[in-house]
């Protein structure tokens, strides 16, 4: 699933403009959208406090980066309709090149299964955020379960987050073998928590690490898997496919 922003607002404008100017400008911008898009935006869940435009943007917008450093707030009419769960089955990836938000599945989604996403903070922070900004108490399968299950999930997520930082440090310092082992461990942890990485990106990371270590056989193997994954995924951002193809070509020369 892909979605383009109905509104793409510079963060500097939101920070610097006076509230009444900002609201008037955004309301005018919304009024100029196609009727179908306007209807979708006005049907979105809104927080109970504040001006209607602020209430619409608050719980439904996403921070995205354009041109490398230019931060914007994007309002995606379809993506914003995806409900929250602390055990999500999708995550979002924004393509700067195409100005498109892609919804990527963590695993195969069964017919009739709801598509759900999650915000990232720890459970207690996440619950407070959902209550304060979206006005509801989370009742997903994880939150309805015993507290021990929540605690265990949070423990795995902390390990995953810590491991990612350690992998980056090992890679930067040239400890490629350690980085490879930890990357595979990261996949194991993430799969246990039912939030595995997008596999073409995972294969690409391993291909690069094996290449840096001088193991061209495994580098080529994972580079092929990465290219195949990107091609199968059919991403709107074909730059990733081209990067994977060029890297594999470099290895096979």
Beta strand 70-75 pairing with 61-66? antiparallel
Kindly tell me if the per-residue pLDDT of 26 is higher than 60.
yes
pLDDT score recorded for residue 131: 65
Distance CA 77, CA 81 (A): 7
Beta bridge partners of 102: 2, 93
Distance CA 189, CA 147 (A): 20
User: Strand, helix or coil at 31?
Assistant: helix
* Token couple for 180: 């490879």
pLDDT score recorded for residue 127: 63
Distance CA 180, CA 174 (A): 11
Q: Which one is the CATH code of 2-142: 2.40.160, 2.170.270, 2.40.128, 2.70.70? A: 2.170.270
Handedness of CA 144, 149, 152, 157 (dihedral sign): negative
Between 89 and 122, residue with greater pLDDT: 89
Per-residue pLDDT, averaged over 91-105, amounts to: 86
Kindly tell me if the per-residue pLDDT of 121 is higher than 60.
no
127-156 pLDDT per residue, tens: 666 666 656 677 666 676 777 776 777 776
Beta bridge partners of 95: 100
Specify whether the CB–CB gap between 186 and 157 falls below 8 A. Answer: no
Kindly tell me if the per-residue pLDDT of 98 is higher than 80.
yes
Between 50 and 98, residue with greater pLDDT: 98
50-94 pLDDT per residue, tens: 677 877 887 788 888 887 767 888 999 999 888 878 778 888 888
Per-residue pLDDT, averaged over 103-114, amounts to: 85
pLDDT score recorded for residue 35: 93
Question: Over the chain, what is the mean pLDDT?
Answer: 82
Specify whether the CB–CB gap between 104 and 90 falls below 8 A. Answer: yes
Q: Looking only at Cα atoms, what is the longest distance across the chain?
A: 61
pLDDT score recorded for residue 1: 84
Between 132 and 1, residue with greater pLDDT: 1
Per-residue pLDDT, averaged over 221-237, amounts to: 80
Q: Note the CATH number of domain 146-252.
A: 1.25.40.10
Q: What percent of the chain has pLDDT over 90?
A: 26
Ordered by start, the domain boundaries in the chain are 2-142, 146-252
Distance CA 121, CA 158 (A): 10
Q: What is the DSSP letter of 74?
A: E
């Amino acid at each position: 699933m892909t979605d383009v922003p109905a509104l793409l607002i510079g963060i500097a404008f939101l920070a610097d403009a006076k509230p009444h100017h900002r609201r008037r400008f955004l309301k005018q911008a919304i009024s100029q959208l196609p009727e179908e898009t306007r209807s979708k935006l006005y049907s979105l869940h809104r927080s109970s406090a504040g001006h209607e435009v602020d209430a619409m943007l608050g719980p439904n917008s996403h921070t995205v980066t354009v041109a490398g450093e230019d931060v914007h707030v994007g309002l995606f009419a379809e993506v914003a309709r995806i409900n929250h769960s602390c055990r999500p089955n999708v995550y979002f990836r924004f393509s700067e090149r195409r100005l498109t938000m892609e919804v990527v599945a963590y695993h195969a989604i069964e017919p009739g299964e709801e598509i759900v996403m999650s915000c990232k903070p720890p459970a207690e922070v996440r619950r407070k955020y959902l209550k304060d900004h979206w006005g509801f108490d989370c009742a997903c399968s994880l939150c309805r379960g015993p507290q021990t299950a929540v605690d265990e999930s949070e423990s795995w997520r902390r390990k995953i987050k810590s491991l990612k930082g350690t992998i980056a440090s090992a890679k930067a310092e040239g400890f490629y073998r350690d980085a490879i082992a930890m990357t595979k461990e990261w996949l194991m942890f993430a799969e246990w928590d039912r939030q595995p990485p997008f596999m073409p990106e995972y294969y690409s990371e391993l291909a690069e690490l094996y290449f840096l270590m001088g193991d061209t056989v495994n580098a080529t193997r994972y580079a092929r898997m990465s290219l195949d994954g990107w091609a199968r995924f059919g991403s709107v951002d074909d730059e990733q496919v081209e990067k994977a193809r060029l890297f594999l070509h470099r290895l096979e020369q």
